[in-house]
Structure 1
Amino acid sequence: MLFPTPTLSPADRAVLSEVEQMRDRLRHQVQAHPGKWTSGLRKLLAADAVAASNSIEGFRVTTQDVQDLMDGERDVDVSDEDREETLAYQRMMTYVQSLHDVADFQYGKGLLNALHWMLQGHRHTKRKPAGQWRNGPVYVTDPGNPRLAAYTAPGAADVPGLMAELVDWLNTDDGAHPLIRAAMAHLHLVSIHPWADGNGRMSRSLQTLLIAREGVLAPEFSSIEAWLGRPGNTWEYYRELQRRGATYLPDQDVSGWIRFNLTAYHQQAQTVQHRMDDSAAVWELLTAFVVEAGLDERVVSALHDVAVVGRIRRSRYEKAEGLTLQQAQRDLRDLAAAGLLVPVGRTRARYYTEGPRFPEPVLARARTPFTISSPYPL
């Protein structure tokens, strides 16, 4: 038995309507600006989601380092374990996002186990198998006391039947809004806890997959993983799951879970909108600056990354502008000589941050904090 999808309250429907409006605006904005800065923002948001979702599980890699790892950089100052976890999650999420427009797509046990292998295959053991249902009990322990079970998942013998029911539900349109179905899919999977490890990230990824399949907006702009990874939100996330009980109790009202997810959708959309507007404004300011300074307009992408992301590596700039290694190196050296950039590190590990002559109005536009509001009245 799965959790029944609750009926939305008038307040829920109002919030969902606002989310739809914001996502529609973002979709039109992305379509109207298919250039380099939107492509860069998509990569940044994807890296942010990977970093945040991994951080919930205790793997600490900054968004900047995740982006470097995603770009294929080898000299990134992270532990071997964090590197493996980041790249595994990134590969799985890349595949999830590629499924958004597959015509004959179907959910299945094989698909879910294959995604789990991508995520956990490097940790596969007999005791904790990857890519197959668990063969024993699993517990979510209390952060302050590992001997205290905050949640005990259904028995291993019940998992195949519950997952069959979930797959059937995933392949059946019950008339609920796609964002509500995505939230429910997350709750179903994380509550069943079908694998020995990796259940949290798999559940968040399944939610992202359903959002991607909706087809309204690229999942990089819609996923709530980055929102969930903020410390305060992570605490609320765990607390909301704990409200479902210490054991699997599907016959209950989960309106609170839906409200939590609608808040996440709404506030993440606000965040992405701010980033989108800031990114566009920074690009325009930098374009005007390089023209006035007599620089080649291609360096805008390097300066834009420094303002928005915090740094630029030679390889990323080279790929973004289709340059040779020598051209990219020369451009960055010239920008450093002009005081616009400062090199950090040596040889392959080198990256560039803003220099003393980097235009202050650009940094102010890129880095001024913004506020987001709660969609529900206090």
Structure 2
Amino acid sequence: MLYPTPSITPDDQRVLDEVEQMRVRLRHQIQDRPGKWTSGLRKFLTADAVAASNSIEGFRVSTQDVQDLMDGERDVDVTDENREETLAYQRMMTYVQSLHDAADFTYSKGLLNGLHWMLQGHRHTPRKRAGQWRTGPVYVTDPTNRRVAAYTAPDVELVPDLMSELVAWLNADDATHPLIRAAMAHLHLVSIHPWADGNGRMSRSLQTLMIAREGVLAPEFSSIEAWLGRSVNTWAYYQELQRRGAVYRPDQDVSSWIRFNLTAYHQQAQTVQHQMDQSTAVWELLGEFAGRTGLDERVLSALHDVAVLDRVRRARYEQAEGLTLQQAQRDLRDLVAAGLLEPVGRTRARFYVEGPQFPAAVLELARTPFTLTPPYGE
């Protein structure tokens, strides 16, 4: 038995409508922007989601370092374990994102186990098998005391049938809004806990996949994993899951879970909208600066990364502009000579931050914080 999907309140419907309005606006903005410009934002949002979801499980790598790892940088100051977890999750998420328009798509046990192997294959052992259902009990420990079981998953004998029921539910076509169904899928999977490890990230990824399959907005702009990864929201996430009880009880009202997810959707949409607007404004201001100073337009992407993401590496700039190694090196050397950039580190580990002549107005615009509005007026 799975949790029944609760009816939404008029207040929930209002929040859902506001989320939809923001997502439609974002879609139109993305369609109106050059591919090169949106590509950088897509990469950042993917890296942010990977960094955030991994951080919930205790693997802490900054969004900037995740981006560097995604770009193939080797000299990134992270532990081997964090590197492996980051790259595994990034590969799995890349595949999830690619499924947004896959033809003849269907959910299956094989798909879910395949995604799990991509996430956990590097940790496969006879006791903790990747890509296969668990063979014994599994517990979610209290985040404040690892010796206390905050949740005990269903008996192992129940897992195959529960997963069959979940797959049938995923493939069913009902009248529930896709964002609500995605939230319920997350709850179903994380409650069944079918694998020995990686259940949290798999549940969040399934939610992202379902949102992506809806087709309203590209998956990079749809995931709530970055929102969940903020410390205050992570704690609220744990508390919300603990409200379901210490054991699997699907015969309960989960309206508070829906409200929690609607808040996440709303505030993540606000965040992405701000990042989109801010990034656009920064690009335009840098364009004006380049026009006044005679800078080549192609260096705007390097300056934009520094303003918005705090740094840029040579490889990222080279890839973004389709340059040769020598061209990228020359451009960055010229920007350093002009005082616009400043190198940090040596040789392959080097990256660039703003120099003393970097336009102050651009930095102020890029780094002014914004305020999130609670959708329920809390």
Deviations 1:158-183 (A, max 9, x none): 00000000000000012100000000
- Offset of residue 38 of structure 1: 1.6
- Offset of residue 39 of structure 1: 1.3
CA-atom RMSD, angstroms?
A: 0.6
Tell me the secondary structure at the aligned position of residue 148 of structure 1: strand
For structure 2, list consecutive stretches of 5 or more residues without a partner in the other structure.
none
What residue is the counterpart of 1:21 in the other structure? 21
- Offset of residue 37 of structure 1: 2.2
What residue is the counterpart of 2:257 in the other structure? 257
For residues 16-55 of structure 1, what are the structure 2 equivalents within 5 Å? Answer: 16-55=16-55
Does residue 288 of the first structure (1) align with residue 288 of the second (2)? yes
Tell me the secondary structure at the aligned position of residue 54 of structure 1: helix
Q: Provide the C-alpha distance between the structure 2 equivalents of 1:147 and 1:312, rounded to a whole number of angstroms.
A: 43
AA of the residue aligned to 2:48: D
What residue is the counterpart of 1:344 in the other structure? 344
Tell me the secondary structure at the aligned position of residue 61 of structure 1: coil
Q: Provide the C-alpha distance between the structure 1 equivalents of 2:79 and 2:236, rounded to a whole number of angstroms.
A: 28
What residue is the counterpart of 1:191 in the other structure? 191
Q: Provide the C-alpha distance between the structure 2 equivalents of 1:250 and 1:284, rounded to a whole number of angstroms.
A: 52
Q: Provide the C-alpha distance between the structure 2 equivalents of 1:294 and 1:259, rounded to a whole number of angstroms.
A: 52
Mapped contact 1:69–1:87 kept (Cα < 8 A): yes
For residues 148-159 of structure 1, what are the structure 2 equivalents within 5 Å? Answer: 148-159=148-159
Q: Provide the C-alpha distance between the structure 2 equivalents of 1:236 and 1:350, rounded to a whole number of angstroms.
A: 38
Q: Provide the C-alpha distance between the structure 2 equivalents of 1:371 and 1:224, rounded to a whole number of angstroms.
A: 17
Deviations 1:61-90 (A, max 9, x none): 000000000001011000000000000000
Deviations 1:13-42 (A, max 9, x none): 000000000000000000011332221111
AA of the residue aligned to 2:173: D
Q: Provide the C-alpha distance between the structure 1 equivalents of 2:126 and 2:147, rounded to a whole number of angstroms.
A: 23
% identical equivalent positions: 80
Q: Provide the C-alpha distance between the structure 2 equivalents of 1:231 and 1:220, rounded to a whole number of angstroms.
A: 21
What residue is the counterpart of 2:77 in the other structure? 77
AA of the residue aligned to 2:346: R
AA of the residue aligned to 2:259: R
Deviations 1:323-363 (A, max 9, x none): 11000000000000100000011111111000010001101
Q: Provide the C-alpha distance between the structure 2 equivalents of 1:327 and 1:28, rounded to a whole number of angstroms.
A: 34
Q: Provide the C-alpha distance between the structure 2 equivalents of 1:354 and 1:146, rounded to a whole number of angstroms.
A: 43
Q: Provide the C-alpha distance between the structure 1 equivalents of 2:233 and 2:175, rounded to a whole number of angstroms.
A: 29
- Offset of residue 241 of structure 1: 0.3
AA of the residue aligned to 1:291: G
Mapped contact 1:15–1:266 kept (Cα < 8 A): yes
289-298 or 225-234: which moved more? 289-298
Deviations 1:293-313 (A, max 9, x none): 111110000000101111111
Q: Provide the C-alpha distance between the structure 2 equivalents of 1:6 and 1:83, rounded to a whole number of angstroms.
A: 40
AA of the residue aligned to 2:269: A
Q: Provide the C-alpha distance between the structure 2 equivalents of 1:319 and 1:300, rounded to a whole number of angstroms.
A: 14
AA of the residue aligned to 1:361: A
Tell me the secondary structure at the aligned position of residue 342 of structure 1: strand
What residue is the counterpart of 2:320 in the other structure? 320
AA of the residue aligned to 1:223: S
Q: Provide the C-alpha distance between the structure 1 equivalents of 2:377 and 2:305, rounded to a whole number of angstroms.
A: 37
Tell me the secondary structure at the aligned position of residue 151 of structure 1: strand
User: Where in structure 1 do 4 or more consecutive aligned residues deviate above 6 Å?
Assistant: none
275-284 or 286-295: which moved more? 286-295
For residues 223-372 of structure 1, what are the structure 2 equivalents within 5 Å? Answer: 223-372=223-372
What residue is the counterpart of 1:172 in the other structure? 172
- Offset of residue 222 of structure 1: 1.1
AA of the residue aligned to 1:22: M
Normalising by structure 1, we get a TM-score of 0.99
Q: Provide the C-alpha distance between the structure 2 equivalents of 1:132 and 1:307, rounded to a whole number of angstroms.
A: 44
- Offset of residue 125 of structure 1: 0.5
- Offset of residue 258 of structure 1: 0.2
Q: Provide the C-alpha distance between the structure 2 equivalents of 1:376 and 1:360, rounded to a whole number of angstroms.
A: 37
For structure 1, list consecutive stretches of 5 or more residues without a partner in the other structure.
none
Q: Provide the C-alpha distance between the structure 1 equivalents of 2:149 and 2:165, rounded to a whole number of angstroms.
A: 26
What residue is the counterpart of 2:117 in the other structure? 117
Q: Provide the C-alpha distance between the structure 1 equivalents of 2:36 and 2:82, rounded to a whole number of angstroms.
A: 29
What residue is the counterpart of 1:101 in the other structure? 101
Deviations 1:95-134 (A, max 9, x none): 0000000110000000000000000000001111100000
What residue is the counterpart of 1:6 in the other structure? 6
AA of the residue aligned to 1:346: R
- Offset of residue 146 of structure 1: 1.8
Does residue 137 of the first structure (1) align with residue 114 of the second (2)? no
AA of the residue aligned to 1:206: L
Q: Provide the C-alpha distance between the structure 2 equivalents of 1:184 and 1:367, rounded to a whole number of angstroms.
A: 36
Mapped contact 1:37–1:283 kept (Cα < 8 A): no
What residue is the counterpart of 2:373 in the other structure? 373
Mapped contact 1:36–1:301 kept (Cα < 8 A): no
AA of the residue aligned to 1:124: H
Q: Provide the C-alpha distance between the structure 2 equivalents of 1:79 and 1:316, rounded to a whole number of angstroms.
A: 22
